[in-house]
């Protein structure tokens, strides 16, 4: 807590903040209703699961170094890729940005004291922990071998213990719904005086769109997973044709949630990027309305594209055509955002810090990953690429290249806000370069493997695929090392990082208009919003006069 610099030169560390007020100690954290503490708990929990999922990924990559068994047998491998998918999607990606950063930031960006339903918010966290515990039990008690997609009738006839994992994902869905509900009500009712809809930060717009999907789509997943669990446990004939069911019905149900779920993961990433690009180029967003409305557009059209996962399932050509076209429209909204972010840089004042490095990576990965997605939607190319490593590479470009880059950007950008301390910038850039390069070396070979025809979820593979698999594993090692470096310096910075001061980036985001770390009530005086959220066209002071004056920066 005591900076090494003389107190007069160092930026102040807010002495009374949400970390130590109103109470300290783990009991006050576990019963807290403070959205910031709940957000931090979500961030810690999801980061732990990110590490677990990453460990599974590395084991998978090591196994694929040779065409035959390398370090495990086929059954273990099948369980590992299932757990990798389940942990990364349900335990990390879906909650990480909305429930973690969203919880911490959304009320502050709206100038609110807390979310609309603080108790529901805490419940959401405990529901998440319960779901995670049930899913973890399922993993320890054997683990499923179905893949995270749980395709029937394989999943309803497998001898592995699939029910606990299904129930875990079912419970996790409620956490998602509760958080989404909370954010929607908060956005509607708790905006600070002066904040109209067109003055909301773009982060809020995107999280708001995410919340709509969470509320509307998640129940469908819950229902579907429950049906699979019932069929597996009691032999109901819903999906298994041997008992009069329809196996393709499951795929429709599943993707009706799981395709919008892609946007549950990507929209929050876009939320982060919209903030980062403005803050680090000190520039207003080029097309505010275009970026804001395109979030809603993605949320809406995203519901009508699920059929593009079924092009080879015997779906009619009419369906395939409709879903193909609609998939292209959803990509257009992404394109609008990409162009607007790029145009925002024009005549900006760009500071190339670690969050901005991740933005650069994100931009490239999103364009390439997004356009390969549109390529898959041309239907006939999908017939060749479907269920090959091309698809694996495509969605990892979006999931890792998009979401994890944004998660890391957010982690660095808001680290001073959350902890009141800075991370080491040099190490931040080194790690960012390693992660971005390692990522490319991991997944570009996988695009080529898909072109060669290597199907996904293969334990054995013909020897001609080996060279590219080795390249991919090498890339993944660099990526993993980069992530470990991030973990180490961020943890060290919690204790040894330089004190950041309230607004080290000179950002105009409303969340910076209060000390860092923020006081428990966010703003000492209810802020009155008089300007837009991303305005850098005057040299107004970093701080509104309504709050206590802040000491000058040491820089």
Residues in region 488-507 near another protein by CB under 8 A: 506
Q: Judged by CB under 8 A, which stretch of 43-51, 74-82, 199-207, 430-438 contacts another protein?
A: 74-82
Q: Judged by CB under 8 A, which stretch of 153-161, 256-264, 406-414, 472-480 contacts another protein?
A: 153-161
Indicate whether 266 belongs to the interface with another protein (CB under 8 A): no
Shortest distance, position 190 Cβ to another protein, whole Å: 28
Shortest distance, position 398 Cβ to another protein, whole Å: 13
Q: Which residues pair with 455 in a beta bridge?
A: 388
Distance between CA atoms of 27 and 349, rounded to whole angstroms?
Answer: 45
The backbone torsions φ and ψ at residue 347, rounded to the nearest 5 degrees and listed phi first, read 60, 25
Q: Which residues pair with 421 in a beta bridge?
A: 499
Distance between CA atoms of 435 and 406, rounded to whole angstroms?
Answer: 12
Binding mask 311-330 toward another protein (x if CB under 8 A, else -) reads xxxx--x--xx--xx--x--
Q: Judged by CB under 8 A, which stretch of 40-48, 230-238, 259-267, 378-386 contacts another protein?
A: 378-386
Indicate whether 224 belongs to the interface with another protein (CB under 8 A): no
Shortest distance, position 172 Cβ to another protein, whole Å: 23
Shortest distance, position 432 Cβ to another protein, whole Å: 14
Shortest distance, position 497 Cβ to another protein, whole Å: 20
The backbone torsions φ and ψ at residue 49, rounded to the nearest 5 degrees and listed phi first, read -70, -30
Task: Identify the residue among 22, 68, 235, 426 touching another protein (CB under 8 A).
Answer: 68
Distance between CA atoms of 159 and 359, rounded to whole angstroms?
Answer: 44
Task: Identify the residue among 24, 119, 188, 460 touching another protein (CB under 8 A).
Answer: 460
Whether the CB-CB separation of 92 and 49 falls below 8 Å is answered with yes
Indicate whether 175 belongs to the interface with another protein (CB under 8 A): no
Please tell me the count of residues contacting another protein according to CB under 8 A: 96
Q: Which residues pair with 499 in a beta bridge?
A: 421
Indicate whether 546 belongs to the interface with another protein (CB under 8 A): no
Cβ-in-10-Å burial (0-12, 13-18, 19+) of 107 comes to buried
In degrees, rounded to 5, the angle at the alpha carbon of residue 517 between the alpha carbons of residues 514 and 523 is 30
Whether the CB-CB separation of 209 and 298 falls below 8 Å is answered with yes
Q: Judged by CB under 8 A, which stretch of 8-16, 48-56, 278-286, 511-519 contacts another protein?
A: 278-286
Indicate whether 158 belongs to the interface with another protein (CB under 8 A): yes
In degrees, rounded to 5, the angle at the alpha carbon of residue 476 between the alpha carbons of residues 475 and 481 is 100
Q: The tokens of 501 are what? A: 């001061």
The backbone torsions φ and ψ at residue 66, rounded to the nearest 5 degrees and listed phi first, read -120, 155
| Interacting residues with another protein between 106 and 145 (CB under 8 A) | 145
Segment holding 282, helix H or strand E: none
| Interacting residues with another protein between 330 and 359 (CB under 8 A) | 331-332, 335-336, 338-340, 342-343, 345-352
According to DSSP, residue 256 is labeled H
Closest by CA to 550, choosing from 13, 20, 109, 1, is: 13
Indicate whether 539 belongs to the interface with another protein (CB under 8 A): yes
Q: Judged by CB under 8 A, which stretch of 14-22, 109-117, 128-136, 458-466 contacts another protein?
A: 458-466
Tokens 């959220």 correspond to: 533
Closest by CA to 11, choosing from 519, 512, 416, 501, is: 501
Task: Say how far residue 177 (Cα) sits from the centre of its chain.
Answer: 16
Binding mask 10-39 toward another protein (x if CB under 8 A, else -) reads ------------------------------
Distance between CA atoms of 499 and 535, rounded to whole angstroms?
Answer: 26
Q: Judged by CB under 8 A, which stretch of 167-175, 222-230, 425-433, 443-451 contacts another protein?
A: 443-451
Distance between CA atoms of 4 and 111, rounded to whole angstroms?
Answer: 33
Task: Identify the residue among 71, 242, 488, 494 touching another protein (CB under 8 A).
Answer: 242
Q: Judged by CB under 8 A, which stretch of 204-212, 457-465, 473-481, 491-499 contacts another protein?
A: 457-465
Indicate whether 304 belongs to the interface with another protein (CB under 8 A): no
The smaller minimum CB distance to another protein, of residues 38 and 436, is found at 436
The smaller minimum CB distance to another protein, of residues 337 and 417, is found at 337
Indicate whether 374 belongs to the interface with another protein (CB under 8 A): yes
């Amino acid at each position: 807590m005591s900076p090494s610099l003389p107190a007069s030169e160092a930026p102040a560390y807010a002495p009374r903040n949400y970390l130590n007020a109103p109470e300290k100690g783990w009991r006050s954290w576990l019963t807290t209703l403070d959205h910031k503490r709940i957000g931090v708990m979500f961030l810690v929990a999801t980061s732990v699961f990110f590490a677990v999922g990453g460990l599974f990924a590395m084991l998978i990559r090591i196994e694929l170094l040779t065409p035959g068994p390398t370090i495990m047998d086929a059954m273990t491998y099948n369980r590992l890729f299932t757990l990798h998918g389940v942990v990364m999607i349900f335990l990390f990606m879906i909650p990480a940005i909305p429930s973690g950063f969203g919880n911490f930031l959304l009320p502050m960006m709206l100038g609110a004291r807390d979310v609309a339903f603080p108790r529901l918010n805490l419940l959401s966290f405990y529901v998440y922990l319960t779901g995670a515990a049930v899913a973890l039990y399922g993993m320890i008690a054997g683990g499923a071998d179905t893949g995270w997609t749980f395709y029937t009738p394989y999943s309803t006839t497998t001898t592995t213990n699939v029910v606990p994992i299904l129930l875990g994902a079912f419970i996790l869905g409620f956490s998602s719904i509760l958080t989404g509900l909370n954010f929607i009500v908060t956005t509607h009712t708790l905006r600070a005086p002066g904040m109209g809809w067109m003055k909301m930060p773009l982060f809020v717009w995107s999280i708001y769109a995410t919340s709509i999907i969470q509320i509307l789509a998640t129940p469908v997943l819950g229902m579907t997973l429950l049906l699979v669990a019932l069929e597996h446990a009691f032999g109901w004939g819903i999906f298994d044709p041997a008992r009069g069911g329809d196996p393709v019905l499951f795929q429709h149900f599943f993707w009706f949630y799981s395709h919008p779920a892609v946007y549950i993961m990507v929209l929050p990433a876009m939320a982060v990027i919209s903030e980062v690009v403005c803050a680090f180029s000190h520039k207003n967003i080029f097309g505010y309305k275009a970026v804001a409305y395109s979030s809603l557009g993605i949320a809406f059209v995203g519901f009508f594209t699920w059929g593009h996962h079924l092009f080879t399932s015997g779906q009619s050509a009419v369906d395939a055509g409709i879903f193909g076209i609609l998939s292209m429209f959803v990509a257009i909204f992404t394109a609008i955002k990409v162009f607007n972010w790029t145009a925002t840089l024009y005549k900006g004042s760009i500071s190339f810090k670690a969050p901005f490095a991740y933005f650069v990576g994100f931009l490239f990965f999103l364009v390439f990953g997004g356009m390969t997605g549109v390529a898959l939607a041309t239907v006939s190319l999908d017939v060749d690429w479907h269920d090959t490593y091309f698809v694996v590479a495509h969605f990892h470009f979006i999931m890792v290249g998009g979401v994890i880059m944004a998660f890391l950007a957010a982690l660095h950008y808001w680290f001073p806000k959350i902890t009141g301390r800075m991370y080491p910038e040099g190490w931040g850039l080194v790690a960012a370069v390693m992660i971005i390069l390692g990522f490319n070396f991991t997944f570009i070979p996988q695009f080529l493997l898909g072109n060669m025809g290597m199907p996904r979820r293969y334990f054995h593979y013909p020897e001609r695929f080996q060279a590219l698999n080795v390249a991919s594993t090498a890339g993944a090692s660099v990526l993993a090392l980069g992530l470990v470096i991030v973990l180490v310096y961020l943890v060290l910075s919690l204790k040894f990082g330089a004190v950041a001061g309230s607004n080290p980036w000179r950002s105009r985001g409303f969340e910076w208009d209060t000390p860092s770390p923020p006081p428990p009530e966010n703003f000492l005086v209810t802020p009155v919003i008089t300007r837009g959220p991303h305005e850098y066209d005057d040299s107004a002071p970093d701080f509104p006069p309504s709050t206590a004056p802040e000491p000058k920066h040491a820089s």
